[in-house]
Each structure stands twice: as structure tokens, then as C-alpha cells.
Homo-oligomer: A and B are copies of this chain.
Amino acid sequence: MDSFSVPEVVVLRLPLYVRALSQLRDGGTDVVSSQQLGSLLQMTPAQIRKDLSYFGRFGKQGRGYNVRFLLHELREILGLDREWRACLIGVGRLGHAIINYPGFSPEGFKIVAAFDGDSDQVGTSIGGFKVRPMEDLAEVVNEMKISIGIVAVPASQAQEVIEKLIENKVKGILNYAPVAPQVPMNTVIRNIDPVLSLQSMTFYLR
């Protein structure tokens, strides 16, 4: 069951299942069928069953899936049964919003340090953190065992910052800058880019 034997599209869907199952659990549902889950997520029951079958047999014929059990299994599969420490690079407008966003922490993603290249920013306090200079990156990432970097610097600086993160063994990058960064194979990058989303949307709106 190594990572490469599972299609990436399947991995991308697992978090959707996790979210739906969390909601069902919070709503008091104990058991759910692939049919119900499918109508909730607008996908076919067969696809859900096939996706899950890459990882094991979690359901019961004639009945469905135990919500809490399946949720627990999926969280384990995705590595969500532990805490992930992240650092933020760039504490401008977006950086502020990210640090103050309460949505990461309950899911186990903790921002534990913030950096900025501007000496006017360094030393200021944001959301409980002292902003640190980029020179401290190596030391802090290493000491705090940070494995994810969140990049919120201007587009022109993004590639450089990302390379610095990778040099320091950060293996996961969440990039908000509107660029297509070049990263080595063993680095996992995810881009958040609302403009790209809008630009593909308009094709269907014309």
C-alpha cells in the first residue's frame, strides 16, 4: 500500500470523504451507505466504493459504513492522526489573514512560526507570534520540526522562498503566490489560486 500505487485523484478525494463523514458524525449519523455519501458529495456510489477499496474493506454488506470507524481509518490513511507543524512566510495582508484563520488548527495544522524578509515587519507581533527574520529559517524549521511551509510573498519572490524552504528539508508547500513553482519530485506542492479558478470558470459562462 505505498503512496504510488494509489491514483492521485483518489487521494485528492479522500479529504472530501473525511469532511462529509465529520459532518455526518456531528449530525448524529452512525452508519452511511456509499449511496448516501454519493448524493451528499454529488458522485457515484461506485466511485466511492472503488476509492475506499484501495485501502481496505471498511463497510458491511447490506448495511453500509460505520461513520466513526471509516472516519478514523481515513484520517489515519491521510496522516491526519497527528499534528502537522507549519511556518508562514510573508506576513503582509494575506499572511495576516492566514495566521488569524481559525480553520487550520482544528484539523491538526498548527502554524508555529512566521517569517518575513522586510526588516520593518520583523519583530512585530501577529496573532501571538513574533515575526522572525529569514536568516532564522534554517534554525527554527529544524528545531521546531516544521514540515510544511505556507508561502504568502509576492509572486516575484515565491520561487526563491520556496527553494529556501526545500533546502531546509521542508517537504510540503502551500503556495498562495500566482506562479507555477518548480519543485523537485519529492516535494509536495499545492497552489491556492482563485484567479486561475475564475479564468477557467469564464470559459463555461461565455
Q: A201, B148: Cβ atoms under 8 Å? A: yes
Category for how many chain A residues contact B: 35 or more
Given contacts A20-B180, A41-B180, contact A171 B11 (CB under 8 A): no
| Oligomer copy total | 2
Q: Cβ of A42: which chain B residues have Cβ within 8 Å of it? A: 180, 182
Distance in Å: Cβ of A95 to nearest Cβ of chain B: 10
Q: Which one of A57-65, A115-123, A187-195 is at the interface? A: A187-195
Distance in Å: Cβ of A172 to nearest Cβ of chain B: 5
Pick 30 A–B contacts, CB within 8 A, sort by A.
Answer: A3-B203, A11-B200, A11-B203, A14-B199, A14-B203, A15-B196, A19-B196, A20-B180, A42-B182, A77-B203, A78-B199, A78-B202, A78-B203, A80-B199, A80-B202, A84-B205, A94-B101, A97-B97, A103-B178, A107-B195, A148-B198, A172-B198, A172-B202, A172-B205, A174-B197, A188-B204, A190-B197, A190-B198, A190-B200, A192-B194
Question: Which residues of A are interface residues toward B (Cβ below 8 A)?
Answer: 3, 11-12, 14-16, 18-20, 40-42, 77-80, 84, 93-94, 97, 100-101, 103-104, 107, 109, 147-148, 171-172, 174, 178-180, 182, 188, 190, 192, 194-206
